[in-house]
Structure 1
Amino acid sequence: MVETDDMIGTSAAVRAYFGEHYEAISRFHARLRDEGELRGLIGPREVDRLWERHILNSAAVVPFLAGATSVADIGSGAGLPGVVIAILRPDATVHLIEPMERRTTWLDEVVADLGLRNVEVKRGRAEEYDGALEVDAVTSRAVAALSKLARISLPLVRSGGELVVLKGRNVDREIEPARKVLRKLTVGEPEILEGGTVDGVESTTILRMRRR
């Protein structure tokens, strides 16, 4: 029998994976399922695959942020991965940076509903916070090609911090066109990593770079 998305989300494996944070994650999922399409946050085809394609996909980045006490999520949109990171890392300050008002309104509502005291929602583009915000790690999901993403994100990363982003399987094709920007912004060699969550759910491709 093929598992539905709801079956995945309520499975023992997913409950065990999220542990004490499962209730908050489940509430976030429910809000996305009930309001996400209506509010223009997700497409209609995504409603029935939120756990596998979005919640678990976002959670896969969290182990790679273990050393970060401050994180900025660029183009946070529906809160993927930023809200998921904030739930799973209550010890870290998470800045959700999003330029669209209707999306920051959504993020404010979700943060209040879930009682996330470690989150700051910031309306604006990443480049507007150059010089005003410096964090241990910047993350994002499906925002831009690496050359542009590095240009707008890396100025927010402190020296020794990291850019840790969720990318597609062909991310290796984005590295060479971005070399000039990466050299200018003094980052080390990009690492392509595999982020897994639970058995049977496709792993996530993650690109990580450390700023010198």
Structure 2
Amino acid sequence: MVTSQHAQELSQGAEQLGVALSETQHSQLLAYLALLIKWNKAYNLTAVRDPDEMVSRHLLDSLSVIPHIGDSPRWLDVGSGGGMPGIPLAILFPEKQVTVLDSNGKKTRFLTQVKLELKLDNLQVIHSRVEAFQPAQPFTGIVSRAFSSLEDFSNWTRHLGDLNTRWLAMKGLHPSDELVALPQDFHLDSAQALTVPGCQGQRHLLILRRTA
């Protein structure tokens, strides 16, 4: 269950990240955490079992990319799993369209439940393999968190973006070896070291663009 300690940890962590949460957003994030804890018992949504670790390793880790989202209006979270970072993105940016995609039916059922309970009208849940997904128009931002290698991430999602799209890959250690294997039509736009309150170990954000 979600405790006052979790609420305080979320408030302090968001502040450290420079992310301003409204009261509504704060309570929505905690409601999402409560659903994650409840459904994780039966659905195995995340390997993190301890609710005390979920604030830092899921919520704050997702919020760490918020300063890099910019004004891109249409986002896709690929291999969203339990909804990170897609659900926090949808909560923080009600004016943006956020799509969460996963090939696991249990996980997309959970994501649909989150959409309904949190009344996230800007969230779309897609149950599909990423290679088979054909959106009506390209996404302006595509994000993944520990989804695959940069090479696979680029190759599998190439058809979902265009030259204006930014690809955000959330990683642990800086993946120098993976950058060498980037497809020729992708390049590294920027790399950021992220500091996530309460998280041990390194976190990096790599922003990729298509090369004309």
Whether TM-score is above 0.5 comes out as yes
Match of 2:129 among 125, 129, 133: 125
Instruction: Report whether the alignment pairs 1:135 with 2:135.
Output: no
Q: Do the aligned partners of 1:138 and 1:154 also contact (CA within 8 Å) in 2?
A: no
Question: Relative to 1, partners in 2 of residues 1:38 and 1:10: Cα closer, same or farther, differing over 3 Å?
Answer: farther
Label 1:117 to 1:211 Cα distance change in 2 as closer, same or farther (>3 A). Answer: same
Contact 1:6–1:51 (CA<8 Å) still a contact in 2?
no
Alignment deviations for residues 37-62 of structure 1 (CA, whole Å, 9 cap, x no partner): 32110125443300111110011112
Q: CA deviation at 1:14?
A: 3.8
Q: Please give the alpha-carbon distance, in whole angstroms, between the structure 2 residues aligned to 1:105 and 1:34.
A: 14
Q: Structure 1 unaligned runs (5+)?
A: none
Where 1:160 maps in the other structure, the secondary structure is coil
Q: Matched residues in 2 for 1:137 and 1:164: separation?
A: 7
Q: Distance in 2 between matches of 1:24 and 1:194?
A: 27
**Please, what TM-score do these two structures have when normalized by structure 2?**
0.85
Aligned counterpart in structure 1 of residue 117 of structure 2, from 109, 113, 125: 113
Question: Alignment partner for residue 36 of structure 2, among 25, 32, 37?
Answer: 32
- Cα RMSD of the aligned pairs, angstroms, is 2.3
Q: TM-score, normalised by structure 1?
A: 0.85
The match for 1:177 among 181, 200, 209 is 181
Q: Structure 2: state its 5+ residue gaps.
A: none
Matched with 2:21 is 19
Could you say if the C-alpha distance between residues 15 and 23 of structure 1 is closer, same or farther in structure 2, counting changes exceeding 3 Å? Answer: farther
Q: Give the CA deviation at 1:8.
A: 5.3
What is the identity percentage for the equivalent residue pairs of Structure 1 and Structure 2? Answer: 22
2:154–2:186 CA contact under 8 A, matched in 1: no
Q: How does 1:1-212 map to 2 (within 5 A)?
A: 7=5, 9-11=7-9, 12-14=11-13, 16=15, 17-20=19-22, 21-43=25-47, 45-130=49-134, 132-178=136-182, 181=183, 183=184, 186-196=185-195, 204-212=203-211
Shift of 1:171: 1.5
* Structure 2: distance between partners of 1:80 and 1:93: 15
Deviations, residues 93-122 of structure 1 (Å, cap 9, x unaligned): 001111111111110000010010101111
Q: Give the direction of change, closer, same or farther, for the CA distance of 1:44–1:90 in structure 2 (3 Å limit).
A: closer
Q: Distance in 2 between matches of 1:107 and 1:177?
A: 32
Q: CA deviation at 1:197?
A: 5.5
Aligned length: 202
What is the Cα deviation at residue 160 of structure 1? 1.7
8 Å Cα contact 2:131-2:157 kept in structure 1: yes
